[in-house]
């Protein structure tokens, strides 16, 4: 197990958040519901906004409409929408599934969790909302797929919102893994959670910090870390290799998609970070021939539907190709630019 650690290290603990503040903070968690919203609304927009929305629609074509809903943020004043988490969390649990020989889906219907199998154990990417859900969904799903939760050696928290870290406590009780996040999001989780809710488990205690360009290595598997700020200031996206039928493919997991920060005073800085990150990673995807693009919310990448379509399919539906990966990042980038034009007025 190999990490490249930041030089700065601190042993901070998460502060308790009172239930009233949890409910207030949860109102802004657009990441919790954006993937369930309809595609881009047909609403009149200023010319500069409409220009980027038109470019996003063109890039989306007929197969990437799920990402167009990001453009709805450009059509409403910046704010934190009110979110009711319970209906999202309590949706029926989808069947777990194997996307590739070394990549498995063990998430819920609304928020994702992925397992990478390596020669020295398992890597879990995100841990759902709370310990109970993690045990019911991740644990049960893994066992159904023949995977042992006690073999989880690393948990990567893509960003510091409770729907991605809330179940880490369960994982630590059964497997004692290292928990990895960015320095910025460790600090946020330990001091002042941006969003919170009674349904979420408490933030994990600070463990391993990684930064852009680092590699997380376990056995024969290495994840390249990309810092892609915006959704949070320390959102992590991950590049890694998946295998199928003797062939290898490059996969990109985008760590935070929605523009959930409209009520934040630094919203323009964060939006510019998102614009820059999608543009940079788009070029990386071209260079590395990334042909698998997945999310930590299945409403964006269609992971559940793709798993259901795999039996008998002539081609793995997760193999979307490099051009489509680039188009998806373009849709995200153009929707962010449209939102920037709207928000900076």
pLDDT in tens, 18-72: 433 343 333 345 454 555 545 665 567 899 999 999 999 999 999 999 999 999 9
b/e map 266-305, b = 16+ CB within 10 Å: ebeebbbbbbebbebbbebbeebebbbbbbbbbbbbbbbe
Q: Which of 21-25, 55-59, 151-155, 259-263 has the lowest mean pLDDT?
A: 21-25
Do 342 and 49 meet the contact criterion of CB atoms below 8 Å apart? yes
Statement: the pTM of the whole predicted model exceeds 0.75:
yes
Instruction: Please write the tens of the pLDDT for every residue from 75-108.
Output: 988 876 567 899 999 999 999 999 999 999 999 9
By the 10 Å C-beta count (0-12 exposed, 13-18 middle, 19+ buried), 314 is classed as exposed
- In the block, residue with structure tokens 């980038």: 333
CA atoms of 35 and 56, how far apart (whole Å): 17
Superfamily of chain region 19-343: Ribonuclease Z/Hydroxyacylglutathione hydrolase-like (3.60.15.10)
Close Cβ partners of 20 (under 8 Å, ≥ 6 residues apart): none
Q: Considering only CA atoms, which of 45, 61, 127 is closest in space to residue 343?
A: 45
CA atoms of 150 and 218, how far apart (whole Å): 15
Which strand (E) or helix (H) includes residue 323? Answer: helix 322-343
């Amino acid at each position: 197990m190999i990490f490249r650690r930041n030089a700065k290290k601190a042993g901070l603990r998460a502060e308790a958040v009172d239930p009233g503040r949890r409910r207030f903070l949860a109102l802004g968690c657009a990441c919790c519901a954006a993937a369930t919203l309809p595609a881009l609304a047909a609403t009149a927009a200023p010319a500069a906004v409409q220009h980027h929305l038109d470019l996003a629609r063109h890039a989306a074509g007929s197969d990437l409409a799920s990402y167009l809903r990001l453009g709805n943020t450009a059509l409403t004043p910046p704010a934190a929408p009110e979110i009711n988490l319970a209906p999202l969390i309590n949706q029926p649990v989808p069947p777990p599934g194997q996307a590739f020989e070394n990549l498995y889906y063990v998430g819920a219907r609304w928020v994702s969790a992925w397992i990478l199998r390596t020669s020295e154990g398992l890597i879990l990417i995100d841990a759902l909302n709370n310990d109970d859900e993690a045990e019911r969904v991740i644990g049960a799903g893994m066992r159904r797929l023949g995977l042992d939760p006690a073999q989880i050696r690393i948990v990567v928290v893509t960003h510091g919102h409770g729907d991605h870290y809330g179940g880490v406590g369960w994982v630590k009780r059964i497997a004692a893994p290292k928990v990895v996040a960015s320095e910025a999001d460790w600090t946020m989780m330990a001091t002042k959670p941006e969003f919170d809710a009674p349904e979420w488990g408490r933030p994990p205690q600070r463990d391993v910090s990684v930064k852009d360009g680092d590699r997380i290595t376990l056995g024969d598997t290495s994840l390249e870390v990309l810092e892609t700020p915006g959704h949070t200031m320390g959102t992590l996206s991950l590049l890694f290799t998946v295998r199928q039928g003797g062939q290898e493919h490059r996969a990109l997991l985008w760590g935070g998609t929605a523009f959930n920060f409209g009520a934040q005073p630094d919203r323009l800085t964060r939006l510019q970070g998102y614009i820059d990150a999608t543009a940079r990673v788009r070029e990386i995807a071209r260079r590395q021939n990334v042909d698998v693009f997945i999310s930590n919310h299945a409403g964006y990448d269609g992971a559940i539907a793709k798993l259901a379509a795999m039996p008998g399919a002539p081609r793995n539906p997760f193999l979307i190709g490099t051009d489509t990966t680039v188009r998806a990042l373009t849709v995200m980038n153009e929707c962010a630019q449209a939102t920037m034009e709207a928000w900076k007025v």
